[in-house]
Amino acid sequence: MSVKSAYGRFAAMVNSLLITIALCFSPAHAQNAPSKPATPVKLAFLGDSLAAGYGLKPDQAIPARLEAALKAAGRNVTVINHGVSGDTTAGGLSRVDWMLADKPDIVIVELGGNDALRALDPAATERNLDAIIGKLKRAGVTVWLAGMLAPRNFGPEYAKQFDGAFQRLADKHGVPFYPFFLDGVAQDPALNQPDGIHPNAKGVDIVVARLLPFVTRNLDDYAASVRRPARP
């Protein structure tokens, strides 16, 4: 075999390899290549019976219905239910480390209702929520806060101290704040279970419908903060 012939074959092989590499990185090839599914955002509820879905089927609880609504809107979000019926803010604080084992990206703190029903000191409720938010933020988790209102039969001073705690904490920590978790449902017999406290399935749908714009708006802000696509 002549040197000229061998060189010609070698050059042809190199050219073929270069063409293959160029095709692999061409826009057309990139469009045809299977895309890797985006990792879902993990959104967790740290809450009480309202999140847990007291008196309802698991798929009727607020976290489950919210996940369904988000997926219907094209959002790649997994909603994790860490609601415990009867839990107070003190109980929630004791569960933070356990909840963090699920590695949530975002946590909605939905606690305080049982503190108010038991007429616990609003200052203690505020301290517990403050500790919860601080602990989550130190763990690198994005926090959103859901507010609750005290029963009005406890008097205006109690209501002022309790209700105001949520806004003060949202301002202190700079976290998104949803003022009243049961907005549109509270005290409506048609939307609550016989106890008058927990939403029925229709009530849950209203809670979710009202909560959804808050969640989607803040999901976009979260996506921008971590440089994810706006619609994960």
Question: Which sequence positions are flagged as catalytic?
Answer: 49, 195, 198
What is the identity of the amino acid at 128? N
Contact partners, residue 140, CB within 8 Å, separation at least 6: none
Coil, strand or helix at 184: coil
CB 51 within 8 A of CB 86: no
Q: Residue 192 gets which letter from DSSP?
A: B
183 burial type by CB count under 10 A (0-12 exposed, 13-18 middle, 19+ buried)? middle
CA atoms of 90 and 150, how far apart (whole Å): 17
- Spell 143-173 as b/e; 16+ CB within 10 A means b: bbbbbbbbeeeeeeebbebbbebbeebbeeb
Beta bridge partners of 43: 79, 106
DSSP calls for 14-38: HHHHHHHHHHHTSHHHHHHSPPPPP
